[in-house]
Structures are given as structure tokens and as C-alpha cells.
Structure 1
Amino acid sequence: MEKTWIKVCETLDVQADAAFACEVEGRMIAVYQVDERHFATENVCPHAYALLSDGWLEGIEIECPLHGARFDITTGAVLEGPAECAVKTYPVRIEGDEVQCLL
């Protein structure tokens, strides 16, 4: 199945240094803006069902609000447990006022 660029939100929806939650094609996605760059991850912590968009973003690290697992939003890598699996990331591009992800 070929991946395509899909609009996930508007650039105005995403505030600097915060997470924005959206659902696109049945996928729960968190979009972030850090230093004028946009990033996207799945929005559900792989350790336990918690929305990362309800957590805390510091730089490029998002902390899960449930058990404090931390992830790098640029790579999805686990930075601190209890999570043992990375969070899925999505390539992002800006087209006009749209934030698009490669899904």
C-alpha cells in the first residue's frame, strides 16, 4: 500500500512547544511545533493507553502523563521508561496553511 500525504490539521492549530491531538484515517496523531519545525507521532503511549498530547513537551521530548515515559518526538525513541517500545513517528510537511503527514 502506497503512503500518501494527508492533511492532519492547520498550522494555526499547533501552538509552539505544545502538542495538538487529531485523528486522521482512524489514526490518533499528536502534532508538535518546536523552533518553527513541525513533528508528528502517534498519540497513544505504547506502554499504557494514555494520550501523549495530554503530557508535557519540553524541547523535543514528550512525557506521557500517565507513568512519565519520555520519547524523542523526532525519532520516537524511548528516552525514559517505563515504556520499552518507541512511539511511531510520521514525516511532516507544510503546504500553505496545512500540516500534512505521510500516512
Structure 2
Amino acid sequence: MAQWHDIAPVEEIPPGTCRSVDIDGRPIAVINLDGEFYAIEDLCTHDGGDLASGDIEGDVIVCPRHGARFSIKTGEVLAPPAYEDIATFPVRVENGMVQVFDQPAD
């Protein structure tokens, strides 16, 4: 059954940082961009490497393995070697807790 999952208190994910979590066997990166939280699938569509350890440049995350670039806000692939988008997930803050919904956004 689809549900919201507590990730961390807001203050534990400061602006410009990322937290990698596992929700029901699916790796998800939760990113704070200037106080707004986003959640993306933490798997590069090029080779399955993690994205959470990559650099954040504005609203883009760069895969640390081969440099593929993805929009943090939309999951859209922006530069090869990846050619497929990544999933994004709804995020909310409830009572100071960052929460992620376990089903991808439409």
C-alpha cells in the first residue's frame, strides 16, 4: 500500500545536501535545494550507479561515475551518457519531518 515515509528532520538535510535512503528496496536521494526538498531515484540510468554521492550544481545532480546530468526537480536527463530520465517522488514536510511518498510522481 502506498504511503508516506519519514526520512529525517528538516535540519538534518541542510540546503545543498543530499540524503540517500532505501524505501521498500528502492534507493531514493532526497535533496534540499534552497529549502525546497526533492526526491529522485538514486540510480543513474546509464549504468545503475548511485547519484547521491554526485555533485549538485544548481538544480542538477551529476553522476559521479561518468558525468551524466539530471534535473533534480523533474528527473529529466540533461547530458549523456545517460539517455533515460529518472523517477521523481513527492516530498512534503510534516511537523518538521521530511517525508517521501513511495510511489513515483506522475
Query: One-letter code of the match for 1:62?
Result: I
Whole-Å Cα distance in 2 between the matches of residues 76 and 49 of structure 1? 15
* 8 Å CA contact retained: 1:8, 1:23: no
Matched, 1:31 2:26: no
Q: Which residue is equivalent to 1:98?
A: 97
For the residue of structure 2 that corresponds to 1:41, the secondary structure is strand
- Residue 40 of structure 1 and its aligned partner are, at CA, apart by 0.5
Stretches of structure 1 lacking an aligned partner (at least 5 in a row): none
For the residue of structure 2 that corresponds to 1:52, the secondary structure is coil
Runs of 4 or more above 4 Å deviation = none
* 8 Å CA contact retained: 1:10, 1:97: yes
Whole-Å Cα distance in 2 between the matches of residues 13 and 22 of structure 1? 13
Q: Which residue is equivalent to 1:12?
A: 11
Output aligned runs, 1:57-76, within 5 Å: 57-76=56-75
For the residue of structure 1 that corresponds to 2:11, the secondary structure is helix
* 8 Å CA contact retained: 1:19, 1:32: yes
Q: Identity over aligned residues, as a percent?
A: 36
TM-score normalised over the length of structure 1: 0.91
- Residue 12 of structure 1 and its aligned partner are, at CA, apart by 2.5
Whole-Å Cα distance in 2 between the matches of residues 52 and 38 of structure 1? 16
* 8 Å CA contact retained: 1:39, 1:90: yes
Whole-Å Cα distance in 1 between the matches of residues 54 and 22 of structure 2? 17
Whole-Å Cα distance in 1 between the matches of residues 25 and 7 of structure 2? 12
User: How many matched pairs?
Assistant: 102
- Residue 98 of structure 1 and its aligned partner are, at CA, apart by 1.3
- Residue 15 of structure 1 and its aligned partner are, at CA, apart by 2.3
Stretches of structure 2 lacking an aligned partner (at least 5 in a row): none
